[in-house]
Amino acid sequence: MGRIRGFILSHFGTHYLLIFLPFFSILSIVYVIRISILSNKISLNAGDILSLYGFFLPDILFYTLPLSFIAALTATLTKLSEDNELIALFSFGMRPAKLLHIFAFPVLLYVSLMLLLSLYIIPQSTAAYKLFESNKMAEAQLTITPNRLGEKFGDYIIFLGDKKGGLYQDVVLFATDKKDKRVLIMADKGEMKHNQGQFSLNLYHGTGDTFLADRIESLTYDQLRIYNYAYNTVDTQWLNRGWSQLSTHPNDMALFVYNLFLSLSPLLVLGIVIAFSIINPRYQSPHTYLISFGMILAIYLSASLLKKEGTPLLLLFVSLLFLAASLFFFSTRSKARF
């Protein structure tokens, strides 16, 4: 029986690679386009592009793995049926239930990997991507061109006379607030500093004047840090709250239910795919593409519903519905006929 397992799984592996690689490539191109759109907003070097692709890679795998598994399993069993390989194995005493045992271990591996991706890796990669994007946007906002009017620096309008090396020359900043207070700061030189996620503009040898309704306040300084710009914070509360508090956050619960359902999908539809993929080529026609498309459509329509109205009770209901359908079709189409 070990040879039969190896024979069937070797065919599955071949079909899987032929299906997974195109799916993976197509979805990778989609995310590369997304990166290129982002590059229009911020400056990216080769290292940044590789980092962004690394952030997106868990998502690519998460959506590619179940599609590839369903399509490869359908193609494998249909091909073995058309070549009469399965009919021969059944005639020698192998039962259709043996196919469930053969694919049980690969399915459990898939489910484990999908759970790892969806519940741990993807939330972290998403948070890392948002942090990367916000930091890059912050750096872009702090890119100031000399001799250009109307440049913004936080609450200030800033004008730079020139830039030599890392130093700004003839720096002028102006700000006004709702209480008719105006601030004018001038400096001979200035430079941008960032340390541990914080930006600051250090000014050297200048003056500062604050114009109030009844007085003017002035100062002269050798060094002044007038602004401190922190990196944008990223909402990582979903990771920090813990799963026990998901019930108090409906959006997080819906996302959790959605990810959990997609992670379990290979297991939930295993019986259905086997039932419709095993055919007698003498009496039945193969419907590989129709079966694959139907299963994928059913899974993602159900997942979309769970993402909008996801609750543990609804997840349980939908999962049991798929399991019941798997058992029903496997018993009536495969177990009863072969």
Lowest model confidence (mean pLDDT) among 32-46, 166-180, 225-239 = 225-239
Same domain, 18 and 63: yes
How confident is the model at residue 243, as a pLDDT? 54
Name which of 57, 75, 118, 56 is nearest 265 in CA terms: 118
Same domain, 168 and 250: no
Tell me which residue range forms the domain holding 204: 145-230
For 135-275, strand residue ranges (E) read: 151-153, 156-164, 167-176, 182-195, 198-211, 216-230
pLDDT at 155 over 80: no
Helix (H/G/I), strand (E/B), else coil: 95: coil
Domain identity same for 131 and 67? yes
Q: For residue 242, is pLDDT > 60?
A: no
Same domain, yes or no: 296 and 311: yes
Name the domain boundary from 185, 215, 230. 230
Residue 135 sits in the same domain as residue 99: yes
Sign of CA dihedral 38, 40, 45, 50: positive
Pair (93, 159) in one structural domain = no
- The pLDDT, as a whole number, for residue 249 is 67
pLDDT in tens, 32-84: 998 888 877 677 788 888 989 999 999 999 989 888 988 898 888 888 888 87
Cα 180 to Cα 190: distance, rounded to the nearest angstrom: 27
Domain termination residue (choose one: 172, 201, 230): 230
Q: Is pTM, for the whole model, over 0.85?
A: no
215/294 same-domain check: no
Query: Do 118 and 192 sit in the same domain of this protein?
Result: no
Whether residues 215 and 158 fall in one domain = yes
101 and 162 belong to one structural domain: no
Amino acid at 178: K
Q: Residues 82-106: pLDDT tens digits?
A: 887 777 877 777 787 788 888 888 8
User: What is the pLDDT of the chain when averaged over all its residues?
Assistant: 81
Instruction: Indicate the pLDDT class of residue 338, thresholds 50, 70 and 90.
Output: low
Place of tokens 């490869």: 72
What strands lie across the sheet with 182-195, from one edge to the other?
151-153, 156-164, 167-176, 182-195, 198-211, 216-230
- Whether residues 165 and 211 share a domain: the answer is yes
Examine the pLDDT at 21 and tell me if it is beyond 70. yes
How many C-beta atoms surround the C-beta of residue 56 within 10 A? 20
- Residue 335's pLDDT band, with cuts at 50, 70 and 90, is low
Q: Do 246 and 323 belong together in one domain?
A: yes
Which of the two residues, 192 and 77, has the higher pLDDT score? 77
Number of folded domains that form the chain: 2
